[in-house]
Amino acid sequence: MILDASSALAAVGAAQRDVELALERLHAADAATWTGPAAAAYTECRDAAVVTAHAVERELRVAREQLRAFVAECDIWGAVPRGYAG
């Protein structure tokens, strides 16, 4: 599989799904009824994690576009046919 250039795209897609999943769970992990100083620190840390996850999500979208062009050129130059190492 590693010989197929398009597998890079698939890997980035999988990374995007993982990050979406992480974001979904971070959103679910709100302090809810837990209150007080420890809960405030928890919320602050969770919010920072959510911001980081959103940034990663955006960067992965850009990476995917770049990799799509990269894979298309590989196909034009007649590299190993798609699915060769399947």
Partner 1 sequence: MSRNLLDDSPAPRLTVHVFDGRTSVDTDRLRELTRLLDAVLAAVRGALLDLTHARAVVHLWAMFAPLNAPGALRALDDAARRMASLADLERRVGELRAQTVAALATYEEADNAARAVIARQGSLVSRYTGFLLGTVLPVLGVPRWFVPAVGGGLLLVDSVGDAMRDVPALVNMQRHLRSGAGLLNPIVNPSGVVSTAVGPQRVGRMAPVQFLASGVLDATGLDHFNGSVDVWVRDPLTQARYRSSVGGWDVITQTAVPIGASVAVARLTSVSDVLRRVRGAARESARTGLGRIELVAQTDSKGATSWTVVIPGTSEFVVGANPQDLLSDLQLMASERSDLMLAVKQALQMAPIGEGDTLILAGHSQGGMVAAELAADAAVNQRWDVAGVITMASPIGQVTGVPADVPVISLENVDDVVPALDGLANTVGGNHLTVQFDSDAHTALLGLHDMRTYEAAWAQALADGATPRLTALDATVRGSAGWADPDATARVYTFEFARSERGQEFLDTLLHVGLGVR
Query: Rounded to whole angstroms, how far apart are CA atoms 81 and 64?
Result: 21
Query: Rounded to whole angstroms, how far apart are CA atoms 30 and 27?
Result: 6
- 13 Cβ contact list (under 8 Å, min separation 6): 64
**Segment 10-69, which members bind partner 1 (CB under 8 A)?**
11-12, 14-16, 18-19, 21-22, 25-26, 28-29, 31-39, 41-42, 45-46, 48-49, 52-53, 55-56, 59-60, 62-63, 66-67, 69
Strand, coil or helix: 29: coil
Is there binding between residue 85 and partner 1 (CB under 8 A)?
no
Q: Which helix (H) or strand (E) holds 39?
A: helix 37-76
Footprint of partner 1 (CB under 8 A): 2-5, 7-9, 11-12, 14-16, 18-19, 21-22, 25-26, 28-29, 31-39, 41-42, 45-46, 48-49, 52-53, 55-56, 59-60, 62-63, 66-67, 69-70, 72-74, 77, 79
